[in-house]
Amino acid sequence: MGLERSRRLLVLYGSQTGTAQDAADRVGREAVRRGCPSVDVLSVDEFDARLLPSEDVVIFVVSTTGQGDMPDSMKEFWKFLLQKNISDQWLEHVHYAVFGLGDSAYQKYNFAAKKLDRRLLNIGGKPLVQKGLGDDQHRSGYEGAFDLWLSSLWNALHEKDPMLLPRSIDNLDASTQCLDSPKFEVIFHSINEMVATGTSTLSDLNCAKNLIGKVRSMSLGKSHYKRPQYLLQLITNQQLIKSDADADVRHLEFESSSSDLRYQVGDVLEVLPAQDPDAVEAFIRRANLDPDCYITVRPKVIGKHHDSSADMSTPPVKLRTFVELAMDVASASPRRYFFEVMSFFASAEHEKEKLQYFASPEGRDDLFQYNQKERRTVLEVLEDFPSVQLPFEWLVQLAPPLRTRAFSISSSPLAHPDQVHLTVKALTWTTPFKRKRSGLCSNWLAGVVPRKGVPIPAWIHGGCLAAPPPSEPLILVGPGTGCAPFRGFVEERAAQKAEGAAVAPILFFFGCRNQEKDFLYRDFWVSHAQDGGVLAAGSGGGFFAAFSRDQVHKVYVQHKMKEERKRVWRLLSGGAAVYIAGSSAKMPADVVTALEEIVAEEAGLDSEAAGRWLRRQRAGGIFIEAWS
């Protein structure tokens, strides 16, 4: 083929929230421990897909996002692999393995990994082992499948090439392991040094624009860093449901200080939350650090393993600011490797033994119950093991990055040119051990006072719901906060109609528990359902609400759809696009079943033919499911 063959183990990850990256890092670490002379761990968007045939062994670790979609960082790579001019022997010399991360509660469980594995096989790739499928529903999380898959992978690699992987079976439990080198180095600068040298520093606002982009680039891949970043001011914070209801749902309106805000209906806004200052201070005290000193954090290049592309902070920043903006110390749970590294720095023997147990295969289930199930934070774990004093270099590497949270946009840019609106439910829950937990971003947003405080860093990207043309009839199904993107759809179509455009009708099915307690945007829907509105029944559209708890028998959106079967069929048979959004994993399947029943009854087909008809509509791209 004219390509020089690579003699390395290449690990490529496609990560949306960082979990796949963490798993890929583990593959790299264990390969090095087993004597692999050359390992590279890269985000997929850091690798040139054209060079794939020159690799000997490639391990893919891929998460599934949206509706069975590839992670954002992997979309260009996947698009390249789907080119028709790629032959079925293109990867004839490449050995590969795929591990997927997904959640079996969702219909398209691990679709990204399954599609990738099938495509690699179809273009000539040689599978080393059967694809592995990690499941969030497993009692040990994705690691329940990952441990077994890794064991098979090491055996297969050793058998294929003992020089690439000298040791397949090796006792790698925590008691016999050596401590790896941290991936980052931290340079500390005193305030006096900063003044004496005249070194420039980053203001907090510039940190929000520069540091966060770099952290996101390093943890999630280059594609995330390329997106425009906005600094938004919250101007409206309105509670949508009664205070005595079980939940707190907010309508939030943000305004851009500049006129460069660009989005479409159906897009997603990613918001960077602020952390609790008291928790940040407690973490800094526990780590025995000076919050007012200045630091420079930069990646180490150790051989070829995980060569990162950019400094995390240049020029120096205040340590407190770095922790606030880059390290999630009081919300996200640390990974298994955190406990392994902690075991090397525990001075109390009983703590060391407990940490070694947690990091071992035998302790995997107990660690999952203690850590992930309870959503213990970095700060809580450090407080549970007081004899551990981790160097800041390790804390930078092991603390989960402070990540943005994504929300479906609930406004139209035509109706609100310099604004973006969100519908946000403040998340709270109780852990198995009855500890109260709350979502970092949603609860922080619920408490932000309008027009006060610093601007909020935010990014916009395309969501699962493509913006429909005004001439396309729509059937929208959105219970609860799933109505958020559809509020934008209705606003957009009303604005298009006001400008004189010919618009197609919209049928919208909304669901909630109680009409009096959690009927989100009641006045908005009703106003657009009146004569002349885009939801008006007289125009072929309609608005129908299901209140599941207002009567003895529960009534859901699919029941309302069957009641309005003739309206649904009229639009469906006329080429309407169907959009489904909501937080329930079961709801979309129930809606599809209801549609199949409607098609069967109204078109006079048997259930099998109705299912085929609906599948053709979905294959044609006019049937879109998403979860908000």
Backbone angles phi, psi at 9, to 5 degrees: -100, 115
For residue 608, what pLDDT is reported? 93
pLDDT at 409 over 80: yes
Same domain, yes or no: 544 and 613: yes
Would you give the end-to-end CA distance of the chain in angstroms? 46
CA–CA distance, 109 with 103 (Å, rounded to integer): 6
Mean pLDDT of the chain: 87
For residue 2, what pLDDT is reported? 46
- Tens of pLDDT along 16-30? 878 899 899 999 999
CA–CA distance, 527 with 401 (Å, rounded to integer): 43
For residue 172, what pLDDT is reported? 52
Residue 486 is encoded by which pair of tokens?
Answer: 């559809």
Strands (E), 344-472: 405-408, 419-425, 428-430, 436-438, 456-461
CATH number of the domain to which 266 belongs:
2.40.30.10
Is residue 174 situated within a structural domain? no
For residue 193, what pLDDT is reported? 73
Q: Which residue has the higher pLDDT, 242 or 499?
A: 499
Same domain, yes or no: 192 and 300: yes
CATH number of the domain to which 147 belongs:
3.40.50.360
For residue 310, what pLDDT is reported? 46
User: What mean pLDDT do residues 462-482 have?
Assistant: 88
Residue 189's closest CA among 314, 339, 294? Answer: 294
For residue 214, what pLDDT is reported? 57
User: What mean pLDDT do residues 546-560 have?
Assistant: 92
Same domain, yes or no: 154 and 184: no
Q: Residue ranges for the binding site?
A: 15-20, 63-66, 136, 375, 405-408, 439-442, 481, 548-549, 554-558, 590, 627
Backbone angles phi, psi at 282, to 5 degrees: -65, -40
Range of the domain at 51: 9-160
Highest mean pLDDT (candidates 14-18, 205-209, 261-265, 309-313): 261-265
Same domain, yes or no: 381 and 510: no
User: What mean pLDDT do residues 71-80 have?
Assistant: 91
For residue 231, what pLDDT is reported? 87
Is residue 469 situated within a structural domain? no
Same domain, yes or no: 451 and 485: no
pLDDT at 287 over 50: yes
- Residues 370 and 158 sit within 8 Å (Cβ to Cβ): no
Same domain, yes or no: 152 and 301: no
Q: Residue ranges for the binding site for FMN?
A: 15-20, 63-66, 136
424, 444, 464 - which closes a domain: 464
pLDDT at 197 over 70: no
375, 401, 427 - which closes a domain: 401
pLDDT at 325 over 70: yes
Same domain, yes or no: 302 and 291: yes
Q: Residue ranges for the binding site for NADP(+)?
A: 481, 548-549, 554-558, 590
Is residue 170 situated within a structural domain? no
For residue 609, what pLDDT is reported? 93
CA–CA distance, 89 with 393 (Å, rounded to integer): 45
Q: Give the orientation angle of helix 607-619 with respect to helix 587-603, to 10 degrees.
A: 120
The conformation of residue 539, written as its DSSP 8-state character, comes to G
How much of the chain, in percent, has pLDDT values that exceed 70? 88
For residue 226, what pLDDT is reported? 57
364, 386, 401 - which closes a domain: 401
pLDDT at 228 over 80: no
Same domain, yes or no: 26 and 156: yes
CA distances from 407 to 313, 374, 458, 460, 539 (A): 28, 24, 11, 10, 31
User: What mean pLDDT do residues 426-431 have?
Assistant: 90
- pLDDT band of 209, cuts 50, 70, 90: low
- Tens of pLDDT along 596-615? 999 999 999 999 999 999 88
Is residue 1 situated within a structural domain? no
Is residue 99 situated within a structural domain? yes
For residue 151, what pLDDT is reported? 92
- Residues 57 and 89 sit within 8 Å (Cβ to Cβ): no
pLDDT at 560 over 60: yes
- pLDDT band of 314, cuts 50, 70, 90: low
Residue 368 is encoded by which pair of tokens?
Answer: 């999952």
pLDDT at 281 over 70: yes
User: What mean pLDDT do residues 179-194 have?
Assistant: 83
Is residue 572 situated within a structural domain? yes
The three-state DSSP-derived secondary structure of 85-152 is CCCCCCCCCCEEEEEEEECCCCCCCCHHHHHHHHHHHHCCCEECCCCEEEECCCCCCCHHHHHHHHHH
Same domain, yes or no: 306 and 225: no
Handedness of CA 186, 192, 196, 202 (dihedral sign): positive
pLDDT at 175 over 80: no
Q: Residue ranges for the binding site for FAD?
A: 375, 405-408, 439-442, 627
| Strand partners for 239 | 250
Of 172-186, 239-253, 350-364, 401-415, the poorest mean pLDDT is in 172-186
How many domains does the structure of the chain reveal?
4
For residue 466, what pLDDT is reported? 79
Is residue 59 situated within a structural domain? yes
Is residue 168 situated within a structural domain? no
Same domain, yes or no: 56 and 149: yes
Same domain, yes or no: 33 and 126: yes
Same domain, yes or no: 444 and 390: no
DSSP line for 194-259: HHHHT-----HHHHHHHHHHHHHHHHH-HHHHTS-EEEEEEEEEEE-S-TTSSS-EEEEEEEESSS
- Residues 186 and 42 sit within 8 Å (Cβ to Cβ): no
CATH number of the domain to which 511 belongs:
3.40.50.80
- pLDDT band of 541, cuts 50, 70, 90: very high
User: Which distant-in-sequence residues (6+ apart) come within 8 Å of 481 by Cβ?
Assistant: 249, 423, 424, 425, 520, 582, 583, 628
pLDDT at 513 over 70: yes
- Tens of pLDDT along 363-395? 999 999 999 899 999 999 999 999 999 999 999
